[in-house]
Amino acid sequence: MLVAALVGAIPAAAATTTAWATWQPLTGAGGAYTTTVQLAAQPAITATMTSDSRAGQVDVISGATNWLAQGTPVGAKYGSSINQSYVNLRPKADNAASPSTTTYSFANPTPASGWTFVLGDIDADSVRIQAVGANGQALTAAELGFQSGFNYCAPGVTGKPSCTGDAADVPTWDATTQTLTGNAAALDTSGAAAWFEPNVPITSLTFSFTRRSGFPVYQTWFASIARDITGVVTDDTAAPQPGATLTLTDANGDVVATTTSGADGSYSFPGVVATAGYTVRVTAPAGMIPEGATSAAVDLTTADGVADFTVRDIIPVAVSGRVVDNDGNPVPGATVTVDGVQTTTTDAQGNYLFDEVAVGPHTVVVTPPPGYSTTDPTEPLVVPPGSEVPITLADFVLAENPDLTGAVRANGAGVAGVAVTAVGPGGTTLTTVTGADGGYSFPRLPSGDYEITITTPDGYVATGATSQSEIVATADVADVDFELARLGGLSGVVRTDGGAPVAGVTITLTTDEGDQQLVTDADGAYGLGDLPPGTYTLTITAPAGSTIVGPSTLTVEVTAAGETFVDQDFTLAAIVVTPTDPPTTTPTPSTPPSTGGGRLPATGLGPETFTWAAVGGAVLALGAVLFLVSRRRSHRD
């Protein structure tokens, strides 16, 4: 019989170990970085990271200069991260309209506990956190598991790095928007950080990092906690039994590890991520059968786990067999019954065993587990009288239901973390997310009509249908693909011809959909993100008293690659007004020319108005004007 599935009396720290994640070097360039990170070894928690962060101080960092000391809240639980690597990333562009998007796509859904992620240097910036669960749903703030903000540079933090920080300088968590925001003044400080412990399995984790001011760089750490599972296999006389096979599976149903009981009947699975949902199954040594349950649930959330098993000799006549798929692979979890009275399930190797079957004719029936079907689930059985020879039946062969697969791509590249939903017969709904290569799969589907739908992720726009109808019969359905286009962006600065930024300048963005007005900020900058593919024309309107130097119109073409066009700059110059001298009046002689008297055509003045005194007055007036103009120019110079 099963002695203990979990012993709570073992102290939580008895065999607890912690580990900080290991990173592969970044590949790619600004706007398109990628790497892989391993959070834990058993079960392996790995993720592929993609980021459109700009370049500059972006890399995997050794942890020798900045780290999370044991005196921080996260360090108290996971230990110091000194000399443990983390990653530095930045926004897509250094303005408030161009956040970077960084997505971690996990190879398998994460455990529901036993690991953490930490965001550091959140001071003059903010980061929005989004995650997708194992069934495709968006995680709530409560499920993200915000623990606290802290400052790893603050005085009094035991073992802190040599940086200087303020204990009061910690980021603020807004659960409504799931956004972590730095200090209210948006000052570029040091050490502001926060840590999270998700409490449900997730398949992807996304950080949208936005600059508020300064030269923003943020840090990301991952860590995990592991504990041990141990046990003993004995026979019904309490004697230890070596040679029993123990198989450990996680909450996803994946095999984590396999081991064999030793000479003293003991076994162990050391260093397993500290979460719930594990199952230990026993396969008895040859000639024996488990006494009672063949499996035990183990929860490592708060303590080490213990699962003991008892086996005994088979009493003839035993009836055994295997359940396999079309390729001969074992099918665990199939239900096998004899005459509807005796029932068991196949183990990890697809084996089943009845150690006491009465003499006479019987019918053995196999009920396939989810994802399999059979056209002939029965097998006749006759136990002869007086026999001591175990009976082995022919293999039951089950057909594996077909898979439906496809991919979500943008500009020829796979898009990770996209939620895909399949609604099948009877309204049954299945969900998954695309992997690092953009591929997705719905394995072993029952036959019927399915509607496959994607949820367009942030930063993309669909270029075709977002839903497709498919029929699943007996063969795999492949290439159920969807196309997206990345959203682009543009930004620039308006400066004077002397290089000074100009605020409040209107830039008109013209598209096929109409015009949009952009206005430069205090730094002379403007920008716009989330632009679908298309042609965009930027036209500057010169403010009063200025003129445009160089082109007044720029045109960019955003393709499905989602380009971000920076340095779309304009230059203005002040209009210089040159003072105008007063008109000069030509004196007219008082005596008309020999042609006779009358008004002079050049001046319009009659002879009676022209005098040398008038000429003198005009000269004095002109001199006064020239003197004033000279004084004004001298003052300006």
Q: Give Cα 586 distance to the centre of its chain.
A: 83
Lowest mean pLDDT among 425-434, 473-482, 492-501, 622-631: 622-631
Does residue 336 contact residue 362 with C-beta atoms inside 8 Å? Answer: no
User: Which residues are CB-contacts of 633 (< 8 A; sequence separation ≥ 6)?
Assistant: 579
> Is residue 403 predicted with pLDDT exceeding 80?
yes
Q: Quote the tokens at residue 307.
A: 């699962």
Average pLDDT over residues 292-304: 93
* Pick among 3.40.190.10, 2.40.50.140, 3.40.50.300, 2.60.40.10: CATH of 488-574: 2.60.40.10
Q: Which residues pair with 286 in a beta bridge?
A: none
pLDDT tens digit sequence for 237-285 = 999 999 999 999 998 889 999 999 999 999 999 999 999 999 999 999 9
Separation CA 81–CA 368 (nearest Å) = 48
> Is residue 627 predicted with pLDDT exceeding 50?
no
pLDDT tens digit sequence for 190-210 = 999 999 999 999 999 999 999
Separation CA 489–CA 480 (nearest Å) = 30
Place 584 in a pLDDT band, splitting at 50, 70 and 90: low
Does residue 219 contact residue 119 with C-beta atoms inside 8 Å? Answer: yes
Q: Give Cα 637 distance to the centre of its chain.
A: 59
Mapping DSSP to helix (H, G, I), strand (E, B) and coil, where does residue 202 land?
strand
Does residue 146 contact residue 136 with C-beta atoms inside 8 Å? Answer: no
Separation CA 611–CA 629 (nearest Å) = 28
Q: What is the pLDDT of residue 587?
A: 57
> Is residue 417 predicted with pLDDT exceeding 60?
yes
Lowest mean pLDDT among 189-198, 364-373, 604-613: 604-613
pLDDT tens digit sequence for 218-233 = 999 999 999 999 999 9
Q: Name the DSSP class of 175.
A: T
Separation CA 127–CA 360 (nearest Å) = 71
Asked if domains 404-486 and 488-574 share a fold, the reply is: yes
Q: Quote the tokens at residue 390.
A: 């175990």
Q: Give the CATH class of 404-486.
A: mainly beta
424-431: long-range pairs with CB below 8 Å, 24+? 424/448, 424/449, 424/450, 424/472, 425/449, 431/135, 431/136, 431/137
472-476: long-range pairs with CB below 8 Å, 24+? 472/402, 472/404, 472/424, 472/445, 472/446, 472/447, 472/448, 473/402, 473/447, 474/402, 474/447, 475/402, 476/402, 476/403, 476/404, 476/405
Where in the chain are the domains? 17-225, 404-486, 488-574, 582-637
Does residue 540 contact residue 548 with C-beta atoms inside 8 Å? Answer: yes
Place 48 in a pLDDT band, splitting at 50, 70 and 90: very high
Whose tokens are 């296999």? That residue is: 233
Separation CA 227–CA 224 (nearest Å) = 10
Separation CA 172–CA 301 (nearest Å) = 28
Residue with the bigger pLDDT between 596 and 528: it is 528
Q: What is the pLDDT of residue 578?
A: 74
Separation CA 109–CA 54 (nearest Å) = 29
Is the backbone peptide bond immediately before 73 cis, with ω within 30 degrees of 0?
no
Give the containing element (helix H, strand E) for 138: none
Does residue 557 contact residue 578 with C-beta atoms inside 8 Å? Answer: no
Place 615 in a pLDDT band, splitting at 50, 70 and 90: very low
Q: What is the pLDDT of residue 8?
A: 31
User: Which residues are CB-contacts of 636 (< 8 A; sequence separation ≥ 6)?
Assistant: none
Q: What is the pLDDT of residue 286?
A: 84
Q: What is the pLDDT of residue 609?
A: 34
Mapping DSSP to helix (H, G, I), strand (E, B) and coil, where does residue 621 land?
helix
Q: Quote the tokens at residue 118.
A: 């930490």
> Is residue 465 predicted with pLDDT exceeding 60?
yes
Q: Which residues pair with 496 in a beta bridge?
A: 572
User: Amino acid letter at 250?
Assistant: D
Give the containing element (helix H, strand E) for 635: helix 612-636
Please choose, from the candidates 281, 110, 120, the residue with its C-alpha nearest in 3D space to the C-alpha of residue 197: 110
> Is residue 603 predicted with pLDDT exceeding 90?
no
Lowest mean pLDDT among 15-29, 463-477, 582-596: 582-596
Q: What is the pLDDT of residue 633?
A: 37
Q: Name the DSSP class of 445.
A: P
Does residue 198 contact residue 110 with C-beta atoms inside 8 Å? Answer: yes
Q: What is the pLDDT of residue 634?
A: 36
Strand 255-260 and strand 404-410: the pairing is unpaired
Q: What is the pLDDT of residue 562?
A: 84
Q: What is the dihedral angle through the alpha carbons of 596, 597, 603, 604, rounded to the nearest 10 degrees?
A: -130
Separation CA 569–CA 571 (nearest Å) = 7
> Is residue 2 predicted with pLDDT exceeding 50?
no
Residue with the bigger pLDDT between 75 and 390: it is 75
The structure's pTM equals: 0.56
Average pLDDT of the chain, as a whole number: 87
Cα separation values, 145 from 180, 477, 630, Å: 13, 38, 75
Does residue 360 contact residue 391 with C-beta atoms inside 8 Å? Answer: no
Looking at the chain, the whole-number percentage of residues with pLDDT higher than 70 is: 88
Q: What is the dihedral angle through the alpha carbons of 433, 435, 438, 442, rounded to the nearest 10 degrees?
A: -50
Q: Give Cα 568 distance to the centre of its chain.
A: 29
> Is residue 155 predicted with pLDDT exceeding 50?
yes
Strand 218-235 and strand 86-89: the pairing is antiparallel
Separation CA 108–CA 203 (nearest Å) = 7
Number of other residues whose CB lies within 10 A of the CB of residue 410: 24
Place 389 in a pLDDT band, splitting at 50, 70 and 90: confident
Q: Name the DSSP class of 427.
A: G
Q: What is the pLDDT of residue 576?
A: 83
Q: What is the pLDDT of residue 620?
A: 39
Separation CA 26–CA 102 (nearest Å) = 13
Please choose, from the candidates 322, 326, 324, the residue with its C-alpha nearest in 3D space to the C-alpha of residue 475: 326
